[in-house]
Amino acid sequence: MTLRLAVTIFPGFQLLDAAGPIAVFEMASRFSPGAYEVRVLAPAGGQVTSTSGVTFGAENLCDGPWDTLMVVGGDTRRAIKESSAITDWLRRAAPAARRVTSVCSGAYFLAEAGLLDGRRATTHWGSTDHFARRYPEVKLDADRIFIRDGDVWTSAGITAGIDLALALVEQDLGGEVARRAAQQLVVHQRRPGGQSQFSALIELGGRSGRFAELMDWMRAHLAEPLTVERLADQAAMSPRNFARAFTAETGTTPAKAVERLRLEAARTAVETSHTPIDRVADTVGFGDPERMRRAFLRAFGQPPQALRRSARG
């Protein structure tokens, strides 16, 4: 049986939000011919321009029948203000669909239609504060690549739509087809671990870049003790004010940020070098290899040795 998927876009949509999942369903259909029929829909149909200036041809919104509804993200806040067509369509079409999904800030449309009330959901890290204020009925989890709550699936920023689509393929066609589709796309079938979206904020030094210099200093001193007191001293702040300001800026505590930076440095060393694991642990500040192993399991779902084997194929 062919599963009919409606990928819904709008003027100012994010190109990869749509193209990534569509490519996944295309690859899956190579290994399971006829599995999917993907249609691109938009409120007015016709040529729809993305944020990059590239246009997609789309059909008018129609009620199906659809197996899966997918709404992508982009300049979503403006789109919601300018048109209620997508939310009205979701309210009509969702009850008849097997599942409803969103990519990135496409979760705004699902929330606007009331489909996320009382459910767990995620969206792009850059929208989480605004989203949480606008939709307090939604149980927002900003630290997930994608979330399934019953028949409603939401995903994080942009490339997470590929992760979501692979999970949908696995549900529909099994792990082998999903694995082969991922291989063709040269991506993980299951991206290792939670991989906090807030790591992007950490990399930038916070929403305003206030702690950018501190981040550079932290990376240069990972092997040393990085206590809150020492970080606060480096930032010329009191420990209490520093901890509060840092958490507000980056979405995570100083201790978790230090661990994240160490994890990222350790993972790079594990996957790209032959340095012994215990030496890596010392170099990035974990000290004890067992401590680093536990951190890897929490963050990536695999120990360092498994990631090294995977990286070497």
Number of other CB atoms surrounding residue 176 within 10 Å: 11
Q: How far apart are CA 8 and CA 71, in angstroms?
A: 5
Structure tokens at 11: 């003027």
The label of the residue with tokens 């829909």 reads 41
Sorted by sequence, the CB contacts under 8 Å of residue 284 that are 6+ apart come out as: 222, 223, 262, 265, 266, 269, 292
Q: Any catalytic annotation for residue 104? A: yes
The active-site residue, picked from 104, 169, 231, 243, is 104
Please provide residue 218's backbone torsions phi and psi, each rounded to the nearest 5 degrees.
-60, -45
Q: Which of 25, 302, 71 is nearest to 166 (CA)?
A: 25
Q: How many CB atoms lie within 10 A of CB 114?
A: 14
Which residue in 109, 106, 132, 134 sits closest to 120, CA to CA? 132
Going by their DSSP bridges, the two strands 55-60 and 46-49 should be labelled as antiparallel
Give the number of C-alpha atoms closer than 13 A to the C-alpha of residue 162, restricted to the C-beta side: 20
Distance CA 36, CA 44 (A): 24
- Roughly how many angstroms between the first and final C-alpha of the chain, as a whole number? 35
Q: Enumerate the β-bridge partners of residue 42.
A: 60
What distances in angstroms separate CA 136 from CA 156, 292, 297, one per listed residue?
18, 37, 32
Note the Cα 142 to chain centre separation in Å: 9
Q: Report residue 33 CA to chain centroid gap.
A: 29
Angstrom distance (rounded) from CA 120 to CA 151: 11
**Where in the sequence numbering do the catalytic residues fall?**
104
